[in-house]
Every structure is written in structure tokens, then in C-alpha cells.
Structure 1
Amino acid sequence: MGQSQTSCFDESRFRDIIEYYDATRFDYQVAWLSRENPAIHFGFYDHRADRHAAALENTNLVLAELAGLQPGWRILDAGCGKGGSCLWLARHLEARAVGITPVRHQVEEARRLAAGAGLSEQVSFRQADYCNTPFEEGSFDCVWACESLCHAPEKAAFYREAYRLLRPGGRLVIAEYVRSGRPLSPAGETLLLGWLNRWAIPDIDTCNEHFEHAQKAGFGQFQIRDCTSYTWVSLKNLHKIARRWLWADYLLYGLGLRSKAQHNNIIGSIRQFRALHQNLWFYAVITAQKPGG
């Protein structure tokens, strides 16, 4: 897979995201991740998965099915976290996967997990900006973004870069939080941003905005599916966990034993579910295809 020399990664531009994931890594490890799948995403519950660990893994299967992925494809995981999806794609689809994230400790952990699984020849990880990657045009069969596009200040830039990276006929698949509208009521905007900004997310886009980004980038066969019903249990579980530990968080935060980013993670998790209850956003899977091939 060729690499361009025209793109470089500037860690300082991702200070908020890096601080958030550095500060909350222990919280995710204790409350969310499974040994089978180090997934920093929500789980899909259906006839194949009715438990937390299985639902986390099932998210990968659902995205792969909706994108129509084929064995042996070259896949870019844009915002790979600790590499859970890359490892799943390598195991189950014999994919050659590249994971990118601006968070250094995630790259290190993903590489360690890949080595432990004997998959270092199939997967690789590096720090990079998924809106401005170091890879050559047409390097991938699929660009995959699972709950990571939300962190981009300009979603349109991601769609343009994904289009550049895909070969003709290549697929784009995104799991994303989507706004119900813009603007919302003043109270709705306050609640929504009260969640997003605490998770180092500047804003999220509407269905129409995603469609416009994809269309302007050149994509065809754009589809957006409301998958909230499949992720509802997972979203509710996070809310329960946050509520359960809220008292301890306030105590430890007041004593200076938890950082502001850690405190914000708990508060944001509670506000996320409140915003969902008020229909301010929904959980979507987006697919699109680069013409040709």
C-alpha cells in the first residue's frame, strides 16, 4: 500500500481528543471493553447477540454486511481506537487492515494486541489524521469509520479524503451519531452539545448534511439507516453505568482524584441518553460507494 509524502500529522491539532482518550482509558477498560474485543464503540443487539461482549463484536459484522465487504480487501479503519475492528476484520475476512488514530497510546495498544493475536502481518496501526492521510489515491477497497467521524470539525473533509483513498467501486461505511435537525430548540442544542463537547466532539451533522457531503465528494449509492433500535440496549447500559458511578465521580473529582476530562465523560454519558430520549439525535449506519470498478 503506497504512501504519499505530501501529508503530515500534527498532534497539537488533536489536543482535546488526545486528552479525552488518555484521561478516560481506565474508565473504558473497567466499564466497557471485553477481552474478546477491545471495542470503544456501542454494541448491536439482535438474534445473533444478546450480551455485551457479543454485541460489541456484532457491530463489526453488521457494518461489514451492510458495506458488502469481501474477503482479502484492503481496509482503512479511520479512527481505529485500540484496533478492535481491524483485528476482527483480519480474523473473519482475512482483510489487510490499516488503523489510524491521533491518540498515541491507542496505536501502541493496538500494535500490542495485534502481535498477541498473531496478526501483525495483516494489520498495522499509526498516528494520522483521517481527513488528511499519508496514503496514496486509490489505496483501499473500503474506508471504515465506527463512531469516529463525529470528532472531525469538518465532516465534509472526511468524505473528500475517503473518496480519494478508495479505488473505483470502493465502499465507505460509517457508524455515526446523527442530528435530528438543525437548528434544534435552544434547550435541545444546550443538551446535545452538553454531551458532545464533553466527549471531545465539536458537533454532529444531520442526514441531509451527510448526504450533501457524500454527493459533493463524488459518492453514489448513499444510504443512511437508523439503527438506534439495535444499539438501544448498549446506549442504555452506558447510561446505567454512568448513573451508578456518578456519586463516586463527584466525590473523587471534588478531591482532585479525577480529572475534568474524566468527570466530563460521566456527565456526557448521562446527557447523551437524555438527548436520545428527547429525539435530538439517532444512531445511524451510513454506506456509500465510489463510482466505477
Structure 2
Amino acid sequence: MSRTGALDLGSGVGGKIEKKDVQSAVEQYEKYHACYGGNEETRKNNYSDLVNKYYDLATSFYEYGWGESFHFADRWNGESLRESIKRHEHFLALQLGLKRGMKVLDVGCGIGGPLREIARFSSTSITGLNNNEYQIGRGEELNRSVGLERSCNFVKADFMKMPFDEDTFDAIYAIEATCHAPDALGCYKEIYRVLKPGQHFAAYEWCMTESFDPNNENHQKIKAEIELGNGLPEIRTTAQCLDAVKKAGFEVIWEKDLAVDSPVPWYLPLDTSRFSLSSFRLTAVGRFLTRSLVKTLEAVGLAPAGSQRVSSFLEKAAEGLVEGGRKEVFTPMYFFLVQKPRQ
């Protein structure tokens, strides 16, 4: 089950990083970003270290506040956050036409929340690809807890260099994960290579929208805050993602920013002007209590030095995400369904 207790949060900060080295890792991570003098080129050249440090530092906060599925979802009126997340995952499975016996790849699977939900929903065998050792360990533990350790597995590898033969998988998906790639085209080409001819790839991508103005200082600030708080080398536009997936060789079946028609704003769980009992830890009061909790745990040595700084940049990310959503310059759910041509 998810680790949702205070001690789990404190002890999990840093992942596989030695606890004595967490503060140093935070400082190194921060220096990659524009807010601390870093630049896009450095992040791209060091994307593996950037992303690994981020998820070692942030995973326990995600589990504590969000649960096992680290992603947003379009949401209907009257629907809870957890219900919308499950429906978002089921929608992906249905778009891919997943069914019993198919061999599926989850690119950038996190701790496997969507993997487990989709595997149970579709009766498929799913391999989760992840380059973070700590998250894989958590995913394997959670798979065992629900009896999926035989049908689903994890592979530790870089999605820019996948350790699979050509034409291996019957379907592939990525949920808010390939945004971590330093080069979208290179990542999509790898996905194309390991997907069987005639089969489908579907993704939810983090993107700047058509409303984003690179010459607008406020828009650039929003972009920088999201990159800092989410371990991103850069955030591409929807047009850049679509162009990259086409150049990789895929045929586009359909694509759309699903945030546009969502009856409930996707960023609502992070909006501190709203209150929700079902998502209490994400509200202003909940975040204040978490901040105080982390400060106390760090002070008494139950959380490593640097934990408060992780909490701080995650809150900064939340501010950027809400502002990006309100101004409609950012979306976490640019969706596309594409097909590898039959040979």
C-alpha cells in the first residue's frame, strides 16, 4: 500500500541517496535550473542525473500527497480526484485497445500506479520502464502487495536507449513521463523501434500551449518554476511534440489537449484558494501542515537535512502549475494516439 504516514514521508526523502548527502543533492539539483543560474543545455546534457535526483528527492512527497499515480486528469463535476485519475488511465487503455494476452510497455512508469490499474482493467501484461532505482523498488513492493508480481515487471533503463529488441511490444503508453526526455524525437524513435508494426502508442504530454509567448516574462517565469519543481530539462510546445512524433515515423490517429474541455480545471487540486476534504493534503491548510511536519521531522533527525528545501521547490512548482493552467499557457495532458505503419 502507499506510504502515507509522517514517518514514511520523512524516511523516504532522498530515495537511494545517502541521507547525509541529501542536502548536497538538493543544491546540485537546484543549480540545474534557471531560478538558480542554470540553463536548458546543461539540463539536457545531464538529464539522467537531473531526473534521478528529482525522483529520489520527491517521490515520498508525491506518495504522501497524491497517492500511487503521479499524474493529473481531466475531471467531471462531482468526480473525485482519485476517480478522475482512474478514469484517465482507463481511457488510455481503451484508446490503445488493450486486451488479455497483449504485451505492453509503460514508458517512465514511476512507482507503477497506472501500470497496476491498467493491468487489472485490461488483463494485460505490462512492463514498466524506469531509470530510478528507488521508484522501481517501491513499484515491485506494491506489485507484490496486490499479486501482480508475476504478470507485471519493471526494467531499469534509460528510455533514450531501451534494452529491448525491435518489434517487441503490442502497445506502448507514456503518462506525463517523456517530458523528461532531453530530445523528444530521439525518445519517440526508440518507442517506434520497440513497438510492433501496425500497433499503437498513446501519451499524455506536458507542454506549453499555443498561448505561450516566449517573449512574455511572466510566461517564462511559469515555465521555469514548472521545470524546477518537476525535474524537466525543458518544456516543449504541443506543436513541437506533434512534429517530433511524426518525424519519428508514426501516423497520427488523433491528438488534442484534453485540458481544454475539462469541466473541472485539472489544476484544481493544487489551487490553494479551494478547499477539499478528499484532497486535504493538497490544500493550503494541508500544505502548511505538511511544511510544518517536514520542518519538525528534519529538526529531530527523522528526515534528512534538505527535506524542507525539497518541500519548498515542490510548492513553487505547484504555484507555477496553477498559474500556467489559469493562463492556459501550460497543459499536462496533451494527448495523442499514433500508429506504427504496417510493413
TM-score normalized by the length of structure 2: 0.74
Kindly tell me: are residues 112 and 172 of structure 1, through their superposed partners in 2, closer, same or farther at Cα, counting changes over 3 Å? same
Aligned counterpart for 2:123 among listed residues 80, 94, 98: 94
- Count, aligned residues: 277
Deviation string 1:185-222 (CA, Å, 9 cap, x unpaired) is: 33112221222222111222222212221121110034
1:284 maps to: 334
Rg bigger for which structure? 2
For structure 1, list consecutive stretches of 5 or more residues without a partner in the other structure. 1-11
Residues 19-58 of structure 1 correspond to what in structure 2 (within 5 A)?
19-33=53-67, 38-46=68-76, 50-58=79-87
Per chain length, whose mean CA-contact separation is higher, i.e. which structure has more relative contact order (CA < 8 Å, sep 6+)? 2
Work out whether residues 59 and 135 of structure 2, in 8 Å CA contact, stay in contact via their aligned partners in 1: no
Work out whether residues 198 and 265 of structure 1, in 8 Å CA contact, stay in contact via their aligned partners in 2: yes
1:73 maps to: 102
C-alpha separation in 1, matches of 2:191 and 2:147: 29
User: Which segments of structure 1 move beyond 6 Å, counting only runs of 4 or more?
Assistant: none
Work out whether residues 238 and 269 of structure 1, in 8 Å CA contact, stay in contact via their aligned partners in 2: yes
Q: In the alignment, does 2:260 pair up with 1:211?
A: no
Which sits farther off after the overlay, 230-239 or 22-31?
A: 230-239
Residues 1-293 of structure 1 correspond to what in structure 2 (within 5 A)?
14-33=48-67, 38-46=68-76, 50-181=79-210, 184-187=214-217, 188-228=219-259, 229-230=261-262, 232-240=264-272, 241=282, 243-244=284-285, 245=287, 249=291, 252=295, 258-282=307-331, 283-292=333-342
C-alpha separation in 2, matches of 1:205 and 1:252: 35
Deviation string 1:114-169 (CA, Å, 9 cap, x unpaired) is: 11211112100121111211000001011110010111111111110010011011
Work out whether residues 242 and 266 of structure 1, in 8 Å CA contact, stay in contact via their aligned partners in 2: no
1:7 maps to: none
Work out whether residues 197 and 203 of structure 1, in 8 Å CA contact, stay in contact via their aligned partners in 2: no
**Aligned residue identity for 2:337:** T
Secondary structure, in 3 states, of the residue corresponding to 1:175?
strand
**Aligned residue identity for 2:164:** F
Work out whether residues 63 and 285 of structure 1, in 8 Å CA contact, stay in contact via their aligned partners in 2: no
RMSD: 2.5
Work out whether residues 163 and 218 of structure 1, in 8 Å CA contact, stay in contact via their aligned partners in 2: yes
C-alpha separation in 2, matches of 1:231 and 1:25: 29
2:23 maps to: none
Deviation string 1:77-119 (CA, Å, 9 cap, x unpaired) is: 0010111122122212111110011111110111111112111
Kindly tell me: are residues 50 and 68 of structure 1, through their superposed partners in 2, closer, same or farther at Cα, counting changes over 3 Å? same
Which sits farther off after the overlay, 127-136 or 52-61?
A: 52-61
Secondary structure, in 3 states, of the residue corresponding to 2:69?
coil
Work out whether residues 242 and 267 of structure 1, in 8 Å CA contact, stay in contact via their aligned partners in 2: no
Kindly tell me: are residues 113 and 259 of structure 1, through their superposed partners in 2, closer, same or farther at Cα, counting changes over 3 Å? same
Which sits farther off after the overlay, 104-113 or 24-33?
A: 24-33
Work out whether residues 100 and 126 of structure 1, in 8 Å CA contact, stay in contact via their aligned partners in 2: yes
Which sits farther off after the overlay, 138-147 or 189-198?
A: 189-198
**Aligned residue identity for 2:152:** V
2:11 maps to: none
C-alpha separation in 2, matches of 1:279 and 1:216: 27
Kindly tell me: are residues 144 and 135 of structure 1, through their superposed partners in 2, closer, same or farther at Cα, counting changes over 3 Å? same
Work out whether residues 75 and 263 of structure 2, in 8 Å CA contact, stay in contact via their aligned partners in 1: yes
Secondary structure, in 3 states, of the residue corresponding to 2:76?
coil
Work out whether residues 99 and 123 of structure 2, in 8 Å CA contact, stay in contact via their aligned partners in 1: no
Identity of paired residues, percent? 22
Which sits farther off after the overlay, 67-76 or 104-113?
A: 67-76
